[in-house]
A and B are shown apart, each in its own frame.
Chain A
Amino acid sequence: MTERVERWPGVELSASDLVEGKVTSTRFRPNAKYAWSAGEAMSRFLAELQEGRLVARTCDGCERILFPPRMFCELCFRPTDAWTYVRDTGTIETFSISYLDKDARRIAEPILVGVVSLDGASPRMGLMHYFGGMTKDEIRIGMRVKAVWRPPEERRGSVLDISYFRPLREAER
């Protein structure tokens, strides 16, 4: 680089330097816990999930059906107008086949995950969720899918009230 720089600062350490105490260090575990108010839109969203329904909001300004629902339209900057339901069928917009779990540990059986755009909402209004009932070789962008709901008594008002989205069957089209 610049010939004028003789020394590039930085002393590299290895993982074992820390573990074996070769360098002085301090440790601290923060006490940082949060409980976010879900607010009007998400509270209703979660309550409807518990009932086995997907709810959206309409905006008369841009005439979109917004999912996930929100109390304000981010394009028009005005309050949204009404609640409306969307269907629990949709289209895979994108997906990944993950061999990593949430802590970046390797897993043998991959997780199929991606974004589903829901029928009845405006184009491309999507939800991230798991895919199931299909192999990693079968999953496709554009595949038509349907939600598999947990039994009512197991739902808690969470996106996990849906277990995953499976391929739409011929008879369901």
Chain B
Amino acid sequence: MRKVGVVGAGMTLFRRRLQETPKELCYEAAKMALDQAGLTLADVDMVVSGSAPDAFEGIHMKGEYFLDGCGGYRKPYTRVFTGGGTGVFSTIAGWWHVASGLADVVLVVNEEKMSSCQPHPQSVFAHIWDPILDRPLQPNLVWIFAMEMNRYMTVYGIRKEDIARVAVKNKRNAVGHPCAQLPDPHITIEDVLNSEVMAWPVQRLDISPPSDGAAAVVIASEDAIRKRKIRDRAWISGVGWSIDSTMWTDRDLVFPEYVARAAKMAYKVAKISDPRREIDFAEPYDPFDYKELHHLEGLLLADKGQAPVLTREGVTERDGDLPVCPSGGLMGVGNPIAATLGIKVGELFWQLTGQAGERQIPHDVRTGVAQAWGDLMQYGCVVVMRA
């Protein structure tokens, strides 16, 4: 299989509301990624974009609309969209553009402008439900996370404190991230446990915020990297993706089987047989604090029900044996859905090339895994990267 690496990354601030238009957000992130890689748009063969519901920006086929901001003008351009999974999935799409041999340099640009949706981006989530089975009950998006969290907590006897600990870790980690929306150096477990109950067991500080933002990565073949003498690169060693049944009410939500399938696929490509030993750090998707734990188990980095132990024992702190969400995650940096590319794959790139500044993991890391989740508790995709 053709060797392919990430050679640059860029992102905008993540904020509840940004002034920039979707095209401008794309441009800023794309330009930064190209500058970081020492490349220009002329070096780019093909462009991939990733963005989640069009309803946020209020433009049908929004991928067509902002393709010029992504550098797609008169180039082969494709948008992929796998719900929340898009944050990592577009990197996989960029990977196959290069690994197929059809391109040597690909720009991947992810964007989300949730704030355009009035009165609140929440409203879009009314439209993700089955119109006959679910919508008549007027569900709120938080319900489905609450149901999954409850199942996970009840089956394994997990206490709320251990889940809240993830929120604290990530919001504190986010202090080191220049783009972070909700960094908090002082947040405590009590703060999380005392925050208002939204839909039990979910409380306000368990949830990542809606955000505007964009992120981009530049992906190149080994040949292109060598020819252009690009020094900062991290190899994409493994990719995997999977989707579970639409009928989420027929599934036991206690374990994200779709994440495990994606992980197994990626680990096989990366020739990883013992993930706990071979993976040095992880950026799982954490739209809610409990999801980090849920996904660590899906990534086979912890036994079922045991991920909270890792957090409790400090294993997943930035200076622990298995740093998890050293970026600060969605909980701390923000959740502009597809633009989380910057704090998942982007973070892997920056950590593996020693460019993570204040957030740099203090010991040597050579292999990282990024994961995103999406749809109706359905979608998992995984990328393994190596220095």
Contact = CB atoms under 8 A, between A and B. Distances in A.
Direct contact of A and B (CB under 8 A): yes
Nearest to A32: B60
Interface in A75-101: 93-101
B19 A159 contact: no
B36 interface: yes
B23 interface: no
A46 B250 CA distance: 18
Interface in A16-45: 17-18, 23, 27-28, 30, 32, 36, 38, 42, 45
B171 interface: no
Interface of A: 1-5, 8-15, 17-18, 23, 27-28, 30, 32, 36, 38, 42, 45-46, 66-68, 70, 74, 93-104, 110, 113-115, 124-130, 136, 141, 158-160
A94 B147 contact: yes
B150 to A, nearest CB: 5
Contacts of A42: 132
A136 B201 CA distance: 12
A128 B154 CA distance: 18
Interface stretch (B222-230, B309-317, B355-363): B355-363
Interface in B137-160: 137-140, 142-143, 146-148, 150-151, 154
Contacts of A99: 196-200
A159 B137 contact: yes
A91 B360 CA distance: 48
Interface residues of B, number: 65
Contact of A126 (B13, B36, B60, B250): B250
B179 A8 contact: yes
Interface string B230-243: 00000000000000
Contacts of B18: 10-13
B177 A1 contact: yes
Interface of B: 11-20, 25, 28-29, 32, 36, 58, 60, 115, 118, 120, 122-123, 126, 131-134, 136-140, 142-143, 146-148, 150-151, 154, 177-179, 196-202, 212-213, 245, 247, 249-253, 350, 355-359
B122 A10 contact: no
A128 B251 CA distance: 12
Nearest to A42: B132
Contacts of A124: 250-252
Given A10-B28, A10-B213, A104-B120, A1 B356 contact: yes
16 contacts: A8-B11, A10-B12, A10-B28, A14-B17, A17-B17, A32-B60, A68-B133, A95-B147, A96-B143, A98-B146, A100-B198, A103-B122, A103-B123, A104-B140, A124-B250, A125-B249
B15 A10 contact: yes
Contact of A10 (B13, B137, B148, B198): B13
A141 B250 contact: no
Contact of A160 (B118, B123, B136, B150): B136
A149 to B, nearest CB: 15
A48 B197 CA distance: 37
A126 B29 CA distance: 43
B350 A96 contact: no
Task: Specify which of B28, B131, B140, B247 lies most central, judged by the most chain A CB atoms within 10 Å of its CB.
Answer: B140
B315 to A, nearest CB: 25
A115 to B, nearest CB: 5
A98 B140 contact: yes
